[in-house]
Amino acid sequence: MFPIFQSTDAVLAVVLCLVAFAFWVQRFKVCKMIGPALIAIFCAIFSVSLVAFIFGCLFANSIDEGWKVAGMFVGTYTGGSSNLTAIATGLNASASTIAAANAADYVVGMPTLVLMFLAPTLMKNSKKFQKFWPYSFTDEELEGDGNQKELMASEEWSIKEIAILLAISVAVVAVATKLSSFMSADFASAGRILLISTISIIVAQIPAVRQLRGAMNLGLFFGMMYLTIVGFSVNIKGFLTSAATITLFCLCVIAGSLILHVIITRLLKIKYEYVLLGIVGAIADGTTSSLVASGARWKSLVSVGMLMGVIGGVCGNYVGITVAYLIRMITGA
């Protein structure tokens, strides 16, 4: 990997972890129905991890850096695209592999998201589904008390806050990089990403850090920069060769995860609103999960959807790297 890949994505990982965990801490206080929501998102994380592990073992030797791709897909389908790029950096994936994985994610993921936005209406209007899955909220419960905050409201921030966020990010990266230098060369890069995530979560507990605004904007800026650099470095011939197989792998992971998630949550009798928001929060992110809730007029669950995505994002780097190394150990890839 080029040095700028690592430094750019490292800062991205820090700022997103900071804003994610800060949001989690704030939202944790307003989520009254947190128990079933936690079960739903952890079922989604488990489903993605298990399915990606199984198909990762099958595809590991059919795809260049297949075990790395499996870890990247676990990351992105438990916490979003930022986890995919963070894990790719931690596993030293090539630019072509990263580009192919992102392309497969868009090809398979976008139609999946369209179906998920349509799902609330389809589930509510289907008598067969209501008979199969009788567990749901009442209209009054979904309406809430009217005190929910507006989703995607405008955010103001100052240059000073951005400067402080950058300074914290660079400091966390520096500490994590130094600590990872004591690890074995084979695991140092992955360990560095895990250290960045862990230290960021700890730093995010500081009240003054939680009050800083603009972290999401800063994170998105670095994310776009990272993807631009990846695009400049792609070998088109190699990309086209690997993209089809990786897309098939991606399809298997998403379809298998959805099926397993539905089976587990149905057995646990989880309300279908939580089930849908949980898998959306995992496969996409908290914002998308909140948008699904908002579009379905599940006003009381908008914050819960965001929380689910945040939990997935926090867990994504850990489970993604773990699954990748398990596949590598079993397949010898």
Contact assessment for residue 269 and residue 244, using Cβ atoms and an 8 Å cutoff: no
Higher pLDDT, 152 or 319: 319
Q: How far out from the chain centre does Cα 274 lie?
A: 17
Average pLDDT, the chain: 77
- Does residue 3 carry a pLDDT above 70? no
- Does residue 5 carry a pLDDT above 80? no
Give the SS3 label for residue 60. coil
Residue 27 binned pLDDT confidence (cut-offs 50, 70, 90):
very low
- Does residue 213 carry a pLDDT above 70? yes
- Does residue 250 carry a pLDDT above 80? yes
Most confident of 151-155, 216-220, 317-321: 317-321
d(CA 171, CA 37): 34
Q: What is the DSSP letter of 160?
A: H
Most confident of 55-59, 192-196, 236-240, 312-316: 55-59
CA separation (Å) from 132 to 89, 99, 127, 269?
43, 40, 9, 11
- Does residue 43 carry a pLDDT above 90? yes
Task: Tally the residues of the chain.
Answer: 333
Q: List the single range of 133-142, 212-221, 284-293, 308-317 with lowest mean pLDDT.
A: 212-221
Higher pLDDT, 213 or 253: 253
Tell me the HSE value of 206 on the side-chain side, using a 13 A CA sphere.
10
CA separation (Å) from 237 to 51, 242, 243?
29, 9, 10
pLDDT digits (tens, 9 = 90+) for 59-69: 888 888 889 99
